[in-house]
Amino acid sequence: MTARHTAISAIAAHRVAKTQDYLEHAGADIYGQYVFHEGAQRQYLAKPIFEKLRRTIDGHEPFDPAIVDAVAHGVKEWAMAHGATHYTHWFVPMTGSTAEKHDSFLNPTGDGQTIAEFSGKNLVQGEPDASSFPSGGIRATFEARGYTAWDVTSPIFLQVEPNGVTLTIPTAYVSFTGEALDYKIPLLRSQEALGRQALRVLRWFGNTTASRVFTNIGPEQEYFLVDRRLAEQRPDLVLTGRTLFGAPSPKGQELEDQYFGSIRERILAFMMDLDRELWRVGVPAKTRHNEVAPGQFEMAPVFEATSVGSDHNMLVLSTMRRLAPQHGLMLLIHEKPFAGINGSGKHNNWSMATNDGENLLDPGNDPHANAQFLAFLIAIIRAVNEHADILRASIADAGQDHRLGANEAPPAIMSIFLGSQLEDVIAQIEQGAASASKRGGDVELGVTSLPVLPKDATDRNRTSPFAFTGNKFEFRAVGSSAPIYWPQTVLNTVVADSLSRLADDLDKLDAGDFEGLTTILSAIVKANKQVLFEGNGYSEAWHAEAERRGLPNNPTTVDALPALTTPKAKDVFSRLGVLSERELTARADIQWDRYIKVGEIEASCAIDIARSMVLPAVVTYLGRLMAASSASRGINAICERVAGLADSLVDAIDTLEHAQHTAHEASSVQAEARAVVTEVIPAQAALRVVVDELETLVDDELWPLPKYRELLFQY
């Protein structure tokens, strides 16, 4: 028996274990159990300290350094009451994964005893020796100094493991020179930029009560689960998160029997465990279901403020990663783990809201509210049209190149779906100012120049990368493995840019001059309507049409990344105070570098598997065929075919190796990345064709890699 077959027998005997005491503790009992939430703050902090901290968390006051020692003491008492011995500053360096270094509270007192210490300074500032994080040239290795700073807006939580508890403080990460070295700081800056500009627009509409505008996100997270005993026999899954080889399973997703199907016991056990662990750390996990592809699933939380929601999405991923092995499963978060079936995205639902709870993307019930809604909507249309290239770049990644534009995910062309009714409203506004006949500037009359909004104005369109869904946008093009901070930062920034210009124009209008407003909005629609598309984004016709409209179409990461460093991009990020030119360039450089490294790792892994696993199996099988071929004309034919494929296999491995060398010799990072696209990836694809064909011919007993039909259906 091969290791594959042994694993399959073991899977058949797998019994689902209970990991949660759900009868003892209902969901409401455990929700936020490991979070230093408002209730815990009230309990562990003196009242004036508590009240001051709350005002900072709610965005009304800057952080007061006078209270940090008192807050730190309360945090420590709370954490130790839950068994914590260590604390860590948790941050998101530009690797895109979270980072943490743990320090214990214990300090020796010199008499063989220890005391627990955690000062205000420990809470608010850390200094990881972080020379090994990518800085995109912001810092040389010898300039290692970087600081983590407590992000008060994101709740402190506990990481609870079987052998101990770690107090975890979400932080932002800056260099000695004050430049952002992480994904958090730009997100917070973009949030502020958007908030400032949105408030200006709101004031024109007579809103005097809102003091803050922020964005909310609800990221729907798609993922695959495969049995760990099978997956670990595949070096490609272990190292690259996707299958570099694999003939299609005879049955894939064509019967459409997986989507929303009843959830297998073993998967549901994982999901239930996941939900409860997420609730404990305050992540509002809400929805769980089977996705389209076999072995594919989704979870969605209730939406939250963007910075918290982004941190929480990292917690969703890390919790999934931690729990999957406990259920004998391997989590695949790659955008395209399997060829030929759907890949995974992170549909990112996004809206803007005021601190008094008004969703600015909610059409509203009266004409006045509608005018305001349309102003925000049209500003977003302009943002996406003018900065489609930057938005596309914000979701670019090697994994995405396998997903975007395949017939399952939005194309690499950015467009907006509004739904036919709302699109019609926008079309009326385009004509609006001219056709409206009205007198005077009073609100009621003025607003009649704007069309009436239909209720429930949108259908759904899953082929659109950026779709309006009733009271929010769904940025569907984000990849499943992406840290969500960066696409959010870009989206907030480009919308802030458009809102700032709208606010500039409104500043010149009298309050309540809705005729003037309509003229402004109409001009914006005229100049930007090419980004609106209601049809099938998967179709060839759309690609042609988009080209005619002059919309950017950047199919690969290498096509997309240059948009980050154009004068236009540098201008918008620096003007709005989100990223300096150096900070922006650093991020682009890191992405280029990462793209090359991923290509390199995948090619090396493919060569390794082909040469040391596939080729030996082919040789063994060929020997057997040759021994039998004189006995049968049919066997002889198969023997010749396998022998031919064996030659092709050896050649294809050499070609891929050669392509790798060619790429290395490129004169610049950009040229090397381009060579990955033009040389390495095609050579690897050609190797795959040979290996996949051999998989269908070689004796199943000899085949070393667990097959698609096993990975996708046996768990």
Judged by beta carbon, residue 217 or residue 317, the one nearer ligand ADP is 217
Query: Is 659 near ligand ADP (CB under 6 A)?
Result: no
Q: How far is the CB of 288 from ligand ADP (least distance, A)?
A: 12
Query: Is 218 near ligand ADP (CB under 6 A)?
Result: yes
Instruction: Please choose, from the candidates 261, 317, 247, 270, the residue with its C-alpha nearest in 3D space to the C-alpha of residue 293.
Output: 261
CA 571 to chain centre: 25
Q: How far is the CB of 536 from ligand ADP (least distance, A)?
A: 19
| DSSP bridge partners of 532 | 416
Residue 329, SS3?
strand
Q: How far is the CB of 359 from ligand ADP (least distance, A)?
A: 5
The DSSP annotation for 72-96 comes to HHHHHHHHHHTTEEEEEEEB-BTTS
Judged by beta carbon, residue 350 or residue 595, the one nearer ligand ADP is 350
Judged by beta carbon, residue 220 or residue 559, the one nearer ligand ADP is 220
Judged by beta carbon, residue 361 or residue 398, the one nearer ligand ADP is 361
- Could you give the CA distance from residue 112 to residue 118 in angstroms, rounded to a whole number? 19
- Could you give the CA distance from residue 562 to residue 564 in angstroms, rounded to a whole number? 5
What values do phi and psi take at 248, rounded to 5? -60, 145
Query: Is 222 near ligand ADP (CB under 6 A)?
Result: no
Q: How far is the CB of 659 from ligand ADP (least distance, A)?
A: 41
Judged by beta carbon, residue 347 or residue 543, the one nearer ligand ADP is 347
| DSSP bridge partners of 115 | 107
Among 126, 301, 337, 479, binds ligand ADP (CB under 6 A): 301
312 and 90 Cβ atoms separated by less than 8 Å? no
Helix axes 681-697, 633-664, angle to 10 degrees: 160
Residue carrying structure tokens 């385009």: 430
Tokens found for residue 652 = 């294809």
User: What is the 3-state secondary structure of 366-402?
Assistant: CHHHHHHHHHHHHHHHHHHHHCHHHHHHHCCCCHHHH
Instruction: Please choose, from the candidates 436, 331, 452, 348, the residue with its C-alpha nearest in 3D space to the C-alpha of residue 394.
Output: 348
Q: How far is the CB of 25 from ligand ADP (least distance, A)?
A: 24
Window of 195-203, 210-218, 556-564, 672-680 that interacts with ligand ADP by CB under 6 A: 210-218
Spell 396-412 as b/e; 16+ CB within 10 A means b. Answer: bbbbbbbbbbbebbbbb
Residue 175, SS3?
strand
Write the interaction track for ligand ADP spanning residues 412-451; mark x where CB under 6 A is met and - where it is not.
----------------------------------------
Judged by beta carbon, residue 307 or residue 351, the one nearer ligand ADP is 351
| DSSP bridge partners of 116 | 106
* Amino acid letter for position 122: N
Q: How far is the CB of 691 from ligand ADP (least distance, A)?
A: 38
Window of 15-23, 133-141, 214-222, 501-509 that interacts with ligand ADP by CB under 6 A: 214-222
Instruction: Please choose, from the candidates 185, 192, 159, 190, the residue with its C-alpha nearest in 3D space to the C-alpha of residue 171.
Output: 185
Among 95, 131, 471, 655, binds ligand ADP (CB under 6 A): 471
Q: How far is the CB of 230 from ligand ADP (least distance, A)?
A: 31
Residues, the chain, total? Answer: 715
Query: Is 310 near ligand ADP (CB under 6 A)?
Result: no
Q: How far is the CB of 40 from ligand ADP (least distance, A)?
A: 25
Query: Is 303 near ligand ADP (CB under 6 A)?
Result: yes
User: What are all long-range contacts of 442-447, with beta carbons under 8 Å and residues at least 24 apart?
Assistant: 442/512, 443/368, 443/512, 443/514, 444/367, 446/512, 446/513, 446/514, 446/515, 446/517, 447/367, 447/368, 447/370, 447/371, 447/514
Residue 151, SS3?
coil
Judged by beta carbon, residue 320 or residue 329, the one nearer ligand ADP is 320
Query: Is 184 near ligand ADP (CB under 6 A)?
Result: no
Judged by beta carbon, residue 359 or residue 519, the one nearer ligand ADP is 359
246 and 342 Cβ atoms separated by less than 8 Å? no
Q: How far is the CB of 484 from ligand ADP (least distance, A)?
A: 12
Among 166, 349, 354, 370, binds ligand ADP (CB under 6 A): 349
Q: How far is the CB of 535 from ligand ADP (least distance, A)?
A: 20
Query: Is 464 near ligand ADP (CB under 6 A)?
Result: no
Window of 21-29, 343-351, 477-485, 493-501 that interacts with ligand ADP by CB under 6 A: 343-351
Query: What is the torsional sign of CA 499, 151, 477, 303?
Result: negative
99 and 133 Cβ atoms separated by less than 8 Å? yes
Judged by beta carbon, residue 472 or residue 529, the one nearer ligand ADP is 472
Q: How far is the CB of 470 from ligand ADP (least distance, A)?
A: 8
Q: How far is the CB of 350 from ligand ADP (least distance, A)?
A: 6
Query: Is 216 near ligand ADP (CB under 6 A)?
Result: yes
Among 472, 529, 543, 594, binds ligand ADP (CB under 6 A): 472
Q: How far is the CB of 351 from ligand ADP (least distance, A)?
A: 3
Query: Is 220 near ligand ADP (CB under 6 A)?
Result: yes
Closest chain position to ligand ADP (CB): 218
| DSSP bridge partners of 474 | 349, 467
List the interface residues with ligand ADP, window 352-371 (CB under 6 A): 359
Count the site residues for ligand ADP by CB under 6 A. 15
Judged by beta carbon, residue 175 or residue 458, the one nearer ligand ADP is 458
Q: How far is the CB of 623 from ligand ADP (least distance, A)?
A: 54
| DSSP bridge partners of 126 | 148
Judged by beta carbon, residue 302 or residue 628, the one nearer ligand ADP is 302
Window of 217-225, 396-404, 510-518, 656-664 that interacts with ligand ADP by CB under 6 A: 217-225
Q: How far is the CB of 32 from ligand ADP (least distance, A)?
A: 18
Tokens found for residue 635 = 């066997």
Among 124, 300, 380, 683, binds ligand ADP (CB under 6 A): 300
Judged by beta carbon, residue 175 or residue 348, the one nearer ligand ADP is 348
Query: Is 351 near ligand ADP (CB under 6 A)?
Result: yes
Among 302, 511, 544, 637, binds ligand ADP (CB under 6 A): 302
Query: Is 476 near ligand ADP (CB under 6 A)?
Result: no
List the interface residues with ligand ADP, window 567-586 (CB under 6 A): none
Q: How far is the CB of 463 from ligand ADP (least distance, A)?
A: 14
Among 50, 78, 350, 592, binds ligand ADP (CB under 6 A): 350
Residue 298, SS3?
strand
- Could you give the CA distance from residue 313 to residue 307 in angstroms, rounded to a whole number? 10
Secondary element (H or E) of residue 305: strand 304-305
Instruction: Please choose, from the candidates 464, 435, 626, 452, the residue with its C-alpha nearest in 3D space to the C-alpha of residue 535.
Output: 464
- Could you give the CA distance from residue 120 to residue 123 in angstroms, rounded to a whole number? 5
Query: What is the torsional sign of CA 557, 563, 566, 570?
Result: negative
Window of 159-167, 216-224, 245-253, 574-582 that interacts with ligand ADP by CB under 6 A: 216-224
Q: How far is the CB of 345 from ligand ADP (least distance, A)?
A: 12
472 and 548 Cβ atoms separated by less than 8 Å? no
Footprint of ligand ADP (CB under 6 A): 216-218, 220, 300-303, 349-351, 359, 469, 471-472
